[in-house]
Homo-oligomer: A and B are copies of this chain.
Amino acid sequence: MGLVVQKYGGSSVADAEGIKRVAKRIVEAKKNGHQVVVVVSAMGDTTDELIDLAAQVSPIPAGREFDMLLTAGERISMALLAMAIKNLGHEAQSFTGSQAGVITDSVHNKARIIDVTPGRIQQSVDAGNIAIVAGFQGVSQDKKDITTLGRGGSDTTAVALAAALNAEVCEIYTDVDGVFTADPRVVKKARKIEWISFEDMLELASSGSKVLLHRCVEYARRYNIPIHVRSSFSGLKGTWVSNEPQGDQPMEQAIISGVAHDTSEAKVTVVGVPDKPGEAATIFRAIADAEINIDMVVQNVSAASTGLTDISFTLPKTEGRKAIAALEKTKAGIGFDSLRYDDQIAKISLVGAGMKTNPGVTATFFEALSDAGVNIELISTSEIRISVVTRADDVNEAVRAVHTAFGLDTDSDEAVVYGGTGR
């Protein structure tokens, strides 16, 4: 048996009871003969409480100090978890990100991992210990300052350690049973996916699925580390994310992996743009200079009569105000008519590598939306994804309709036209 890396999120270690439950699970893996390295997040609301404290002493906390503050959270959870494991009669040692060799750049609050030198961790597990590592944190290569990895940082720590330690698998324990064919809160008949490729998982992650973040999956793909996403509460098998199915996993990938939705974006439309070279470039340069990441971009065919076109794009709602301000400044130069801003939209995405070779997927997708009375406002596609923008009010109905149309509902008998069901 080889080495496994397990990661437990804040909701799994929200209180002393949670820590003791997780400790038992970790000890089981050790008893099964594995070397075990555990990455743990801060307990429950700890991080939010620390952020609140920071806001009380400074309106804009400095990055270096903010990271120093936040990393106290994992320090608490990892030490408690090590104690709980030792209390079960097994040896455990906790390590900060720095001690674990998580080397990052110097961009505080969203540092990137540039190297992992896990010598102390390897030594610790070779000596028979369970090693507990603080997620979300590292130490900067040049200044030796404490850094944090930003959103999804603990998952990324886990995958990075798994890669550096040549782990068999990186198990991401969370509060849901795995990755589903749609958000189970919206689609009651959503099905747990047993295996999904890195590529499809990446598309789901960037289309609004929140179980795994894009960054962590990307890292796992680059180093080919199988991820097993599962619940720390239920003990059930979860979802495997990997290059190829392994063991008793289904050998054939589904045509459609799942339906994701995202209501965190807004739509900006630049109306009446002169249809000549360079205008679109000017618009998106202005957006880029404001350091705003955009998602979908659509340009209509220009009306022959006017020579004017409309350009629409989506972006995080939180960036809306900044984008409009940046565009207003370009108005004189470009000479467009007006700007429209709409934050009552939803994006619905269908993801699956199988759609590349299966004609008719797009038609079925649009038919399902049409039958449900949902209007499509924007369309964008990749090789393995189709995304549409609809009214925010329509999102739940739209997701359910598409989920059913592609035979993803868990009760249906191996389904309609595109019967690959993800199992």
Given known A-B contacts A53-B16, A57-B16, A62 and B76 have beta carbons under 8 A apart: no
Q: Which residues of B contact A86 (CB under 8 A)?
A: 58, 62, 65
Within 8 Å of chain B (Cβ to Cβ): is A404?
A: no
Best-surrounded residue of A62, A64, A146 (most CB of chain B within 10 A): A62
Task: Give which listed residue, B23, B61, B73, B84, contacts A83 with CB less than 8 A.
Answer: B61
Q: How far is the CA of A225 from the CA of B268 in the complex (A)?
A: 65
Q: Which residues of B contact A61 (CB under 8 A)?
A: 83
Q: How far is the CA of A57 from the CA of B94 in the complex (A)?
A: 15
Which of chain A's residues 63-122 have a Cβ closer than 8 Å to chain B? 64-66, 68-69, 71-73, 75-76, 78-84, 86-87, 92-94, 96, 99, 120
Within 8 Å of chain B (Cβ to Cβ): is A322?
A: no
Q: Is the CB of A82 within 8 A of B68?
A: yes
Given known A-B contacts A16-B53, A53-B80, A94-B65, A87 and B59 have beta carbons under 8 A apart: yes
Q: Is the CB of B87 within 8 A of A76?
A: no
Interface size of A in residues (CB-CB distance below 8 Å): 40
Beta-carbon nearest neighbor of A50 in chain B: B76
Task: Give which listed residue, B57, B69, B76, contacts A53 with CB less than 8 A.
Answer: B76
Q: Is the CB of A62 within 8 A of B82?
A: yes
Question: Taking the nearest CB of chain B, how far is it from the CB of A56, in angstroms?
Answer: 4
Q: Is the CB of B58 within 8 A of A69?
A: no
Q: Is the CB of A82 within 8 A of B65?
A: yes
Q: How far is the CA of A146 from the CA of B69 in the complex (A)?
A: 17
Q: Is the CB of B75 within 8 A of A62?
A: no
Q: How far is the CA of A79 from the CA of B145 in the complex (A)?
A: 13
Q: Is the CB of B75 within 8 A of A68?
A: yes
Q: How far is the CA of A92 from the CA of B65 in the complex (A)?
A: 9
Q: Is the CB of A75 within 8 A of B80?
A: no
Question: Taking the nearest CB of chain B, how far is it from the CB of A18, in angstroms?
Answer: 10
Within 8 Å of chain B (Cβ to Cβ): is A160?
A: no
Q: Which residues of B contact A76 (CB under 8 A)?
A: 50, 53, 69, 72
Q: Is the CB of A75 within 8 A of B69?
A: yes
Q: Which residues of B contact A72 (CB under 8 A)?
A: 72-73, 75-76, 79
Q: Which residues of B contact A58 (CB under 8 A)?
A: 83-84, 86-87
Q: Which residues of B contact A64 (CB under 8 A)?
A: 93-94
Q: How far is the CA of A162 from the CA of B79 in the complex (A)?
A: 31
A-B contact pairs, 7 of them (CB 8 A): A20-B57, A62-B86, A65-B93, A68-B79, A69-B83, A72-B72, A75-B75
